[in-house]
Amino acid sequence: MAQPKDFFVKKYHALKGIKYTLAMIINEADRQAEYEKLTADDPDTAVYTKTIAHLTHEIMRINHTLGNVERKMHE
- The string of pLDDT tens digits covering residues 3-54 is 777 888 999 999 999 999 999 999 999 999 999 988 988 888 889 999 999 9
Q: What is the DSSP string of the chain?
A: ---HHHHHHHHHHHHHHHHHHHHHHHHHHHHHHHHHHHH-SS---HHHHHHHHHHHHHHHHHHHHHHHHHHHHT-
Q: Which residues contact 70 (CB under 8 A, 6 or more apart)?
A: 12
The predicted pLDDT at position 45 comes to 87
Q: What pLDDT is recorded for position 34?
A: 92
Domain ranges of the chain: 4-73
